[in-house]
C-alpha cells in the first residue's frame, strides 16, 4: 500500500466526498461546490480525481462512503443541517485526529470568507485539537469570541482554552471570558455579565455567525468535574436530576432540556440558542453517545462532526 502524505490523504478524502455526492447522491457540480465550500472548477477536478484514483466503480471504493451514509442517516434521524463522520481507527478509538481535522476544515472555510464574521468557540480537547489543525492565515477582519469562562474556582486557567491560540494563528481580534466557568451565586453571575467588558463579550457571542462547541458527558469522570469546575457533590446532584451531558457548561437531560438546577443558575457561559443557530459540535466516544444524542434531540446543535463508531451507536440505540 502506497503511503501518502497528510496533504495527499486529505485531497483523496475530498475527492471521495465529491465522488460520493456526484455519483451516489446525484448532486450537480454546482451543488457539490456549495456543499464543499469550493469553486465549481475545483469541484469538477475533485470528481475527476475520484475516477482517476480508482475510487469510483459501481460503488465508491473508499471507507468514507460508509461514513457519508451514516452522516446522511444522522441528519435524517435527528434533523441536523449537516453532519460529517470520519472513519474510526480500531487501534486508537479515542484518537481525535480525523475528527479535529474535519472540524478545522469547517473553521477554515469560515476564516476564508471575505465578509467579517463573528466566530464563537467553546473549550475542551476537541476545540483545542481543531484549532491545532488550522493553518495560519491573515483573518484580522473577523472576530473570535469565547462562549465559556476559562478559569476554575481556584483561579487556574483552563488547559483546553482554544480562543487565544486561534487568534494567534489568524491575527484576528479575540474576546476571551476571563472569569470562572461557574460562580458562587446567580446574583454574582448577573453582576459580572453586566459589567464592561463582559457585557460586550456576551453581546458578541449572541450575534455570532457560527459557533464551534464540544459536548461533554456527566459521568463519573465528567470534564466539568475533572477540570475542577464543579465538585463531586454537584456532579452527583446533576446526575440525580437527570443530567446526561453539557454544552459550554450548560447541563441538560437525555432530551436536551437545560436543567433547572443550581449549577446552571451559576454558569457564566454565553446562553445557548434553542433551537440552535449554525452551531457545530465536535464530539465522539462511547462515553459521550447519550450526551450527543441529547444535544441533537434538544436542538442544541445544528451540525455534528463525529466518528464512525459513535455514529453507529447513535443510530442503533
Give 6-53's CATH code, choosing from 3.40.50, 2.60.40, 1.10.10, 1.10.287: 1.10.10
Each residue's pLDDT tens digit, 228-259: 899 999 999 999 999 999 999 999 999 999 99
Is the confidence at residue 59, as pLDDT, over 50? no
Element (DSSP H or E) covering residue 251 = strand 250-252
In this structure, how many other beta carbons lie within 10 angstroms of the beta carbon of residue 265?
A: 14
- Asked whether residue 63 carries a pLDDT value surpassing 70, the answer given is no
Alpha-carbon span 165 to 115, nearest angstrom: 22
Q: How many CB atoms lie under 10 A from the CB of residue 316? A: 6
Q: 24: Cβ–Cβ under 8 A, 6 or more apart, which residues?
A: 59, 60, 65, 68
The architecture (CATH level 2) of 65-315 comes to 3-Layer(aba) Sandwich (3.40)
Domain edges within the chain: 6-53, 65-315
> Three-state DSSP class for 12?
helix
Render pLDDT for 153-189 as a digit per residue (tens, 0 to 9).
777 777 788 999 999 999 999 999 989 999 999 999 9
Average pLDDT of 267-285?
96
* pTM exceeds cut of 0.85: no
Query: 3-state DSSP: the chain helix, strand, coil percent, rounded to 5?
Result: 45, 15, 40
Distance CA 281, CA 57 (A): 33
Question: Considering the chain, what is the average pLDDT of its residues?
Answer: 91
Amino acid at each position: 500500500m502506497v503511503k501518502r502524505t497528510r496533504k495527499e490523504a486529505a485531497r483523496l478524502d475530498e475527492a471521495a466526498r465529491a465522488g460520493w455526492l456526484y455519483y451516489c447522491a446525484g448532486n450537480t457540480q454546482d451543488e457539490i461546490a456549495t456543499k464543499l465550500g469550493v469553486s465549481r472548477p475545483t469541484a469538477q477536478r475533485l470528481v475527476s480525481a475520484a475516477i482517476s484514483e480508482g475510487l469510483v466503480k459501481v460503488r465508491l471504493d473508499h471507507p468514507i462512503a460508509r461514513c457519508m451514509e451514516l452522516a446522511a442517516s444522522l441528519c435524517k434521524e435527528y434533523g441536523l443541517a449537516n453532519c460529517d463522520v470520519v472513519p474510526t481507527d480500531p487501534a486508537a478509538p479515542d484518537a481525535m485526529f480525523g475528527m479535529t481535522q474535519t472540524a478545522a476544515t469547517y473553521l477554515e472555510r469560515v476564516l476564508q470568507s471575505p465578509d467579517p464574521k463573528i466566530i464563537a468557540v467553546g473549550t475542551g480537547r476537541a476545540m483545542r485539537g481543531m484549532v491545532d489543525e488550522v493553518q495560519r492565515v491573515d483573518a484580522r477582519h473577523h472576530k473570535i469570541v469565547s462562549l465559556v469562562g476559562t478559569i476554575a474556582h481556584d483561579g487556574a486557567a483552563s488547559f483546553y482554552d482554544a480562543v487565544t491560540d486561534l487568534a494567534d494563528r489568524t491575527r484576528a481580534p479575540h474576546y476571551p471570558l476571563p472569569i470562572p466557568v461557574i460562580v458562587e451565586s446567580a446574583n454574582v453571575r448577573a453582576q459580572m455579565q453586566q459589567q464592561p467588558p463582559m457585557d460586550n463579550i456576551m453581546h458578541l457571542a449572541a450575534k455570532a455567525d457560527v459557533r464551534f462547541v464540544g459536548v461533554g458527558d456527566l459521568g463519573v469522570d465528567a470534564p466539568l468535574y475533572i477540570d475542577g469546575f464543579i465538585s463531586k457533590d454537584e456532579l452527583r446532584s446533576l446526575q440525580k436530576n437527570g443530567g446526561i451531558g453539557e454544552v459550554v457548561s450548560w447541563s441538560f437531560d437525555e432530551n436536551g432540556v437545560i436543567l433547572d438546577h443550581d449549577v446552571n443558575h451559576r454558569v457564566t457561559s454565553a446562553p445557548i440558542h434553542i433551537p440552535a443557530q449554525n452551531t457545530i459540535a465536535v464530539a465522539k466516544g462511547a462515553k459521550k453517545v447519550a450526551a450527543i444524542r441529547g444535544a441533537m434531540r434538544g436542538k442544541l446543535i445544528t451540525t455534528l462532526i463525529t466518528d464512525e463508531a459513535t455514529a453507529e451507536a447513535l443510530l442503533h440505540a
